[in-house]
Amino acid sequence: MTIIVRDDGFHADDQTDFLDLASDTDPATLDPSLAENIRIAFPSSADGRGFSLARILRLQGFTGRLRAAGHVLSDQYTMARRCGFDEVEISDELADRQPAEQWLFRADWRAHDYQARMRG
């Protein structure tokens, strides 16, 4: 099973109709009109290409549901949200190692960035 992480905690998966993109998808081939829901794979927590793909899709006008799936850590949740992901799909095993409290700690992703500090 998988767990869906959103700003308000853990959820059961409620969506199965996704266009799946690999982390090595060529950004030049992205077309935000291809699907209403896109899931981008994260084969490793050290592979940040999915963050770039999400940002590019949002800049191209994609307004649908964007999900990061795989090896995303709770420490990366803020970055995922800032890049344009709506949610993160993790395994039950990762949810056991990093419970909802660790994800909720990072749910205020609009605050505490360097730009906010510079403006303040």
Q: What is the pLDDT of residue 16?
A: 75
User: Cβ contacts of residue 79 below 8 Å, gap of 6+?
Assistant: 51
- Closest to 63 measured CA to CA, from 39, 84, 41: 84
> Is the C-alpha dihedral spanning 3, 33, 76, 120 positive or negative?
negative
The answer to whether 39 and 119 are in contact (CB under 8 A) is no
DSSP-derived secondary structure letter, 75: G
| pLDDT tens digits in sequence order for the chain, 120 residues long | 799 999 999 999 987 799 999 999 999 999 989 899 999 999 999 999 999 999 999 999 999 999 999 999 999 999 999 999 999 999 999 999 999 999 988 777 666 555 665 666
Q: How far is CA 54 from CA 15, 59, 111, in A?
A: 18, 9, 20
Q: Which tokens in the block code for residue 28?
A: 């030049």
Query: What distance lies between CA 43 and its chain's CA centroid?
Result: 13
The predicted pLDDT at position 72 comes to 96
